[in-house]
Amino acid sequence: GIQVEQSPPDLILQEGANSTLRCNFSDSVNNLQWFHQNPWGQLINLFYIPSGTKQNGRLSATTVATERYSLLYISSSQTTDSGVYFCAVERYTNAGKSTFGDGTTLTVKP
Amino acid sequence: DAGVTQSPTHLIKTRGQQVTLRCSPKSGHDTVSWYQQALGQGPQFIFQYYEEEERQRGNFPDRFSGHQFPNYSSELNVNALLLGDSALYLCASRSGGDWTGELFFGEGSRLTVL
């Protein structure tokens, strides 16, 4: 099956700093989503981005499908950004089955 | 607009018991899938239901079964519980058809097996 690798596994920042999280995947995909998992376990949708670039406030994401990677940018980080960030992909031949990476754990210190 | 809702939020069972978890999809969604998330890992796909049938299944044993009702809600059943079944169980929903739309998750049911 498709492999999803996220890096870095852990990231510690001071409040106000910027960061880039990366998601590499081993095969072509037709779905890609970024999630933020809060301390209570809920997965919060950040971006649905099979290709291209999107921005939402301090967050933006870029997916280069032909090169099989996606980037999540967090600018001017806040303590509330802390948590685990997951990338999830789906292949058309396995539509409906999302494969997740192991996540990046972000800690933002005040 | 109601999101994906799951119940119960927490539960404790002993080895060998059976458990049923429930999920109501987001308004307007007709496809439900279930994921298991062990501590420190990403969610793992269990199965997906559409039109009351299991459409896709991940690498989980037959002890894991499910059901979808005519109102699109779903249940996940796990029989003969093992210690290793302790995890957060997440339900997700999306609009059906080509299953390429955005996936939305509930808050999860945290199962502890003693």
Across the interface, whether the CB atoms of B100 and A95 are under 8 A apart is answered: yes
Structure tokens at B2: 């109601």
Q: Using 50, 70 and 90 to split pLDDT, how confident is the model at B1?
A: low
Tens digit of each residue's pLDDT (9 = 90 or more) over A26-71:
999 989 999 999 888 889 999 999 999 999 999 999 999 999 999 9
| B100 contact residues in A (CB cutoff 8 A) | 30-31, 90, 92, 95
pLDDT score of B32: 95
Nearest to B107 among A35, A42, A90 (CB): A42
Helix, strand counts (H, E) of chain A: 0, 11
Nearest to A97 among B41, B45, B88 (CB): B45
| B98 contact residues in A (CB cutoff 8 A) | 95
Q: Which of A3-7, A58-62, B1-5, B35-39 has the lowest mean pLDDT?
A: B1-5
Q: Using 50, 70 and 90 to split pLDDT, how confident is the model at B2?
A: confident
Chain B residue with Cα closest to A96: B99
Per-residue pLDDT averaged across B39-46, rounded?
95
**Residue A78: is its pLDDT beyond 70?**
yes
For residues A22 and B5, give the distance between their C-alpha atoms in angstroms, rounded to a whole number: 30
Average pLDDT, chain B: 94
pLDDT score of B98: 62
Q: Using 50, 70 and 90 to split pLDDT, how confident is the model at A13?
A: very high
User: What 8-state DSSP symbol labels residue B28?
Assistant: T
Chain B contact probe: residue of A30, A36, A42, A92 with most B CBs at under 10 A: A42
Phi (first) and psi of residue A58, to 5 degrees: -80, -5
Across the interface, whether the CB atoms of B44 and A100 are under 8 A apart is answered: yes
| B92 contact residues in A (CB cutoff 8 A) | 98
Cis peptide before B70 (omega within 30 of 0): no
Pair B9, B109: CB distance under 8 Å: yes
pLDDT score of A109: 96
Across the interface, whether the CB atoms of A102 and B43 are under 8 A apart is answered: no
